[in-house]
Structure 1
Amino acid sequence: MDFSIKPLDTRTGLAGAKTGCAVVGVFENKKLSDEARALDAGGAITAVLKSGDISGKAGTTLLLRNLDGVGAERVLLVGFGPDEPVSDKNFNAGVQAMAKALSTLGGGDAILALPLERLKERDPAWGARAAVLALRDNAYRFDALKSKKEAPNGGVKRVIVAGDAAVKQAVAQAVALANGMDLTRDLGNLPGNVCTPTYLAETAKRLAKEFGLGVEVLDRKQIEALKMGSFLSVTRGTDEPPKFIVLKHMGGKAKEAPVVLVGKGITFDTGGISLKPGAAMDEMKYDMCGAGSVLGTFRAIAEMGLKLNVIGVIPTCENMPSGRATKPGDIVTSMSGQTIEILNTDAEGRLILCDALTYTERFKPAAVVDIATLTGACITALGHHNTGLFTRHDEAHDALADELLAAGKQTGDTAWRMPIEDSYQEQLKSNFADMANIGGPPAGSITAACFLERYTRAYTWAHLDIAGTAWKSGAAKGATGRPVPLLTAFLMNRAQGGNGRR
């Protein structure tokens, strides 16, 4: 789908625009947006509102054809709710319904003339981004491994957004973000026999080549030389070689401290010797969605040319059972020198992340955010709506948490802050090592974060547990692309020197 920006002709306006479809908003109580009023010279839109053919309720649509005095072949009316500043929820419902309607039309192009000036606490750029993302989300398909591809539905292929220079920039940013989300979703949806650690490494290399990024991929011998005993303990039971990926987008000043994103990359998680139940184990291909979100975020910020130094660190391997696999009760030494008693081999994400977090110290980062499908306990706590956000409680970490929470609200890719307190650290005590890798069932997502926190005391850090938000199950099974919007907005806000709502 191609997107462009076009200011309306000052002489003929929207009514004179030649297009396959003009999209305008209407409201409840039979009220028209300014853009809809511009197409209502013959009274046809007023008539259908009065007749009740469309209620104006958020998410309703009605297609009209051949209106008198209108250059567009079709006019799509989209409901945005009450006639007042349009809420995020109502605007998103409207543009999602718009995207579905446009995907079935015969016309090849459309002009979006949406009520961007009537958004509640949002600017037109935010609305333009939301519209583009809704269209791209509706267009996403994953049929790469099907012998017979899904037949295209036709629909609009070229979209013009009516707006100014700020809207033009927003549309370009939204396209870059959608491209990053599509990459993250593709990586998550690929099966474990395709999306291996080597495949993730090759994906990072392709991104580096396409966008001029720095990249380094460490293999087993180099990982061993770094004494990442915790990471290596997870990969002992598999034939697939582990990889440690470092990706660099150095768009900021030469000596500016980077933001580092650390993504968990378990490309398939059987649980190891602590074997998972067979039901729904196929979804453990999504255990690399932290790594996928880092790669997708880099895809987005590289296309944007973001003026910020960002480094991605991805430890990636499989967690498999075999005669060589790590056993419950084994003790390993992490890169930091701290020893870990592995009581459950299915708590493996923290074992690869802790060495990656120690490695990250060398970059002297401004901030570090790790992203991981870490705990089922986070789903129990927060469901599938909010990502779990964990960080220490002090001024610097509170500020980082506020930035991430604001980015989530800005994009609708929301997070909820959870506690980290010393009292929870008690659950990680071991009689035989410096710590255990699990703290028992109570507060499982918090003790997992507490484990990671022990490896991050050299810098400002936050942890995002995306176990409940990275993919969907059931009939809608598939990767969501989250939290790429949150991470991208967080980095964009940092580059612009702020974290406000837009």
Structure 2
Amino acid sequence: MNFDLKTMDLRAAAAEKCDQLVVLVGQDFVAGTDPLSALIGEAIKHKDFDPKPGKLLSFYQSAGIAARRVLFAGIGLGDARGVRQALAGAAAAFRSPGTKRVAICFAAEANAAAVSAAVQGAAHVSYVYTLTKPKGEASSLSRVVVGVREPTAVAQAFASSVAVALGVELAREWGNRPANHATPRMLADAAKALAKQPGIACKVMGPAEVSRLKMGAFLAVARGSEEPLRFIELRYTGAARSQAPVVLVGKGITFDTGGISIKPAPEMDEMKFDMCGAASVLGVFRALAQLQPAINVVGLIPACENMPDGRSVKPGDVVTSMSGQTIEVLNTDAEGRLVLCDALCYGMRHKPAVIVDIATLTGACVIALGGVRSGLFASDEALAQALLAAGEGAGDLAWRLPLDDEYAEGLKSNFADLANVAGRPAGSITAAKFLQSFVGEVPWAHLDIAGTAWKSGTAKGATGRPVGLLVNWLLARAQPDAASSENVPRGRAKKAPRPARAAKISGT
């Protein structure tokens, strides 16, 4: 789908030829003399329309308006949250059969945050999964025009939001694919396809290479599956090679049965989403390719299945990680931390400025935070605050949880350096403490997205989170004066940020 940014007030919107015109109306709306203003004013006057967030009024082929269908959508104060609510409520307008071109017009001035919310909201509601639904109704929408009074003021935010939308779409697509259509090898092929984008390189390792790296924890998880593991390494180079990279590590369990500690049958199908951390890394790299910011980023994806088999790792087995630390596997369903610990150790080879892992790691985090906020753990205060702020700006919220040393007590083992679980209490925190054992002194953060990476029930599907949070954070770090507060080594040359593409952005 293509996005355009266009100069447009309500008078111009009335003349905009499209299948669907969506007019975003705030509570401070003042009617003018143009046809749309008059209609909005009359609708509010007669209480047929309320500009509160989520309130809608639609009509068809009105005189003096070029659009075939028109929808008034309330956005309240006009902030990003109100815009997101409005577009979520207008989802049917974007998915209506025969809708190829949609125009979104703000009835008043729009700030950068509101425009970003409009782009990402439109992309979210228009996404339709079709890969394994050959008889399903594919979206016919091919172009969305976002109309504002002053495009120049919001052009950079528009460009960034289009890139985020492309990344989120890619993450949602791979998250939604059934496990037999998203094997480790297929995930590796998706990463290789990204390497065709400017500034991106990809390296894929198989079982032999991983064995030579002595990634015993990762190998142990993959042992029970017929599908061979893949260790995927993506690189985006946007700054001087002397600049220490950011390393992102995404959990890539393409299906999780729990292994020998097998999960209950109900809802096990949703364990295809256990690679959403990996999918988010793919999405971030898609956005980086679009925006070309002045930063270096490495993406690591340990991809495998966790299956029960005669060769599978068993409860009580002791494995040796790449770091040399031995791990007593008390529960084979706590496999995510086993693949991540080796990937984190490998990430240290890049001498990163900072390392962040993203994982659908614990059910305990779902109980703690539900599906609203991702769990955030960080060893560095500045890093934690930067990630939280990025999430707030993207509407991709996180909540920081503690990392007190006392939480690691339960990971002690009589038979290894540490156990892979510490019991049910504070399960998301003890999982984070396990991972912290493999990152040394490098500033590190862990995002537990078990509650936010997908939705269940009638809305079942991947959300693409936390691509928005991560891209916002990386763009902020790419600014010349931003990274120093997050412990980036000093004295290294930084390229000036490249200007974002503005006014007209197209992507698929």
TM-score, length of structure 2 as denominator length: 0.89
Could you say which residue in structure 1 is the equivalent of 2:493?
Answer: none
Give the direction of change, closer, same or farther, for the CA distance of 1:181–1:339 in structure 2 (3 Å limit). same
User: For 2:50, which of 32, 35, 55 is the aligned residue?
Assistant: 55
Could you say which residue in structure 2 is the equivalent of 1:259?
Answer: 246
Judge conservation of contact 2:362–2:428 (CA < 8 Å) in 1.
yes
Q: Which is further off, 160-169 or 485-494?
A: 160-169
**Considering only aligned residues, what root-mean-square deviation do their CA atoms show, in Å?**
2.4
Judge conservation of contact 1:361–1:458 (CA < 8 Å) in 2.
no
Written as runs of structure 1 = structure 2, the 5 A alignment for 1:151-300 is 152=139, 157-162=143-148, 163-300=150-287
Give the direction of change, closer, same or farther, for the CA distance of 1:230–1:50 in structure 2 (3 Å limit). same
Could you say which residue in structure 2 is the equivalent of 1:117?
Answer: 109
Could you say which residue in structure 1 is the equivalent of 2:408?
Answer: 425
Give the direction of change, closer, same or farther, for the CA distance of 1:389–1:59 in structure 2 (3 Å limit). same
Shift of 1:464: 0.4
1:101 equivalent to 2:99? Answer no
Give the Cα separation in 2 of the matches to 1:469 and 1:287. 12
Q: Which is further off, 380-389 or 54-63?
A: 54-63
Judge conservation of contact 1:177–1:300 (CA < 8 Å) in 2.
yes
Judge conservation of contact 1:366–1:460 (CA < 8 Å) in 2.
yes
Structure with larger RCO (C-alpha < 8 A, sep 6+): 2
Q: Which is further off, 198-207 or 212-221?
A: 212-221
What letter corresponds to residue 159 of structure 1 in structure 2? V
Give the Cα separation in 1 of the matches to 2:418 and 2:53. 52
Give the Cα separation in 1 of the matches to 2:36 and 2:121. 30
Could you say which residue in structure 2 is the equivalent of 1:462?
Answer: 445
> What do residues 305-334 of structure 1 show as CA deviations (whole Å, max 9, x unaligned)?
122100001111111111111111111111
Give the direction of change, closer, same or farther, for the CA distance of 1:279–1:168 in structure 2 (3 Å limit). same
Could you say which residue in structure 2 is the equivalent of 1:475?
Answer: 458
User: For 1:141, which of 128, 140, 148 is the aligned residue?
Assistant: 128
Q: Which is further off, 161-170 or 214-223?
A: 161-170
Give the direction of change, closer, same or farther, for the CA distance of 1:242–1:104 in structure 2 (3 Å limit). closer
Percent of aligned pairs with the same amino acid: 51
1:390 equivalent to 2:388? Answer no
What letter corresponds to residue 86 of structure 1 in structure 2? G
Judge conservation of contact 1:319–1:348 (CA < 8 Å) in 2.
yes
Give the direction of change, closer, same or farther, for the CA distance of 1:151–1:362 in structure 2 (3 Å limit). closer
Give the Cα separation in 2 of the matches to 1:323 and 1:273. 9
Give the Cα separation in 1 of the matches to 2:278 and 2:419. 25
Shift of 1:111: 3.8
Give the direction of change, closer, same or farther, for the CA distance of 1:108–1:450 in structure 2 (3 Å limit). closer
Give the Cα separation in 2 of the matches to 1:40 and 1:483. 41
Judge conservation of contact 2:244–2:352 (CA < 8 Å) in 1.
yes
Give the Cα separation in 2 of the matches to 1:15 and 1:278. 52
Shift of 1:60: 1.5
Q: Which is further off, 93-102 or 293-302?
A: 93-102
Could you say which residue in structure 1 is the equivalent of 2:25?
Answer: 26
SS state at 2:247 partner: strand
Shift of 1:264: 0.6
Could you say which residue in structure 2 is the equivalent of 1:487?
Answer: 470
Give the direction of change, closer, same or farther, for the CA distance of 1:27–1:299 in structure 2 (3 Å limit). closer
Q: Runs of 5+ in structure 2 lacking a partner? A: 486-508
Give the Cα separation in 2 of the matches to 1:151 and 1:322. 39
Give the direction of change, closer, same or farther, for the CA distance of 1:167–1:354 in structure 2 (3 Å limit). same
User: For 1:80, which of 69, 75, 80 is the aligned residue?
Assistant: 75
Give the direction of change, closer, same or farther, for the CA distance of 1:221–1:69 in structure 2 (3 Å limit). closer
Give the Cα separation in 2 of the matches to 1:176 and 1:317. 28
Give the direction of change, closer, same or farther, for the CA distance of 1:173–1:196 in structure 2 (3 Å limit). same
> What do residues 40-83 of structure 1 show as CA deviations (whole Å, max 9, x unaligned)?
588443222211211222212223566666565655322223xx
Q: Runs of 5+ in structure 1 lacking a partner? A: 119-123
> What do residues 337-371 of structure 1 show as CA deviations (whole Å, max 9, x unaligned)?
11111111111111111111111111111110000
Give the Cα separation in 2 of the matches to 1:156 and 1:233. 45
Give the Cα separation in 1 of the matches to 2:108 and 2:363. 39
Give the direction of change, closer, same or farther, for the CA distance of 1:379–1:40 in structure 2 (3 Å limit). same
What letter corresponds to residue 428 of structure 1 in structure 2? L
What number of residue pairs does the alignment pair up?
481
Judge conservation of contact 1:128–1:161 (CA < 8 Å) in 2.
no
Give the direction of change, closer, same or farther, for the CA distance of 1:269–1:38 in structure 2 (3 Å limit). farther
SS state at 2:129 partner: coil
Give the direction of change, closer, same or farther, for the CA distance of 1:41–1:383 in structure 2 (3 Å limit). closer
Give the Cα separation in 2 of the matches to 1:341 and 1:107. 56
What letter corresponds to residue 50 of structure 1 in structure 2? K
Give the Cα separation in 2 of the matches to 1:265 and 1:415. 21
Give the direction of change, closer, same or farther, for the CA distance of 1:191–1:65 in structure 2 (3 Å limit). closer
What letter corresponds to residue 426 of structure 2 in structure 1? A
Give the Cα separation in 1 of the matches to 2:274 and 2:326. 25
Judge conservation of contact 2:24–2:83 (CA < 8 Å) in 1.
no
Could you say which residue in structure 2 is the equivalent of 1:46?
Answer: 41
Shift of 1:92: 1.9
> What do residues 209-267 of structure 1 show as CA deviations (whole Å, max 9, x unaligned)?
23341111111111111111111111111111111111000111221111010011111
Written as runs of structure 1 = structure 2, the 5 A alignment for 1:280-429 is 280-392=267-379, 397-429=380-412
Shift of 1:183: 1.0
Judge conservation of contact 2:11–2:36 (CA < 8 Å) in 1.
no
Give the Cα separation in 1 of the matches to 2:153 and 2:248. 29
Give the Cα separation in 2 of the matches to 1:333 and 1:97. 51
Give the direction of change, closer, same or farther, for the CA distance of 1:159–1:368 in structure 2 (3 Å limit). same
Could you say which residue in structure 1 is the equivalent of 2:2?
Answer: 2
What letter corresponds to residue 406 of structure 1 in structure 2? A
> What do residues 6-34 of structure 1 show as CA deviations (whole Å, max 9, x unaligned)?
2249xx95367342355434345xx534x
Shift of 1:159: 1.8
Give the Cα separation in 1 of the matches to 2:87 and 2:229. 42
Shift of 1:168: 2.9
Judge conservation of contact 1:15–1:38 (CA < 8 Å) in 2.
no
What letter corresponds to residue 5 of structure 1 in structure 2? L
Give the Cα separation in 2 of the matches to 1:386 and 1:23. 29
Give the direction of change, closer, same or farther, for the CA distance of 1:50–1:305 in structure 2 (3 Å limit). same
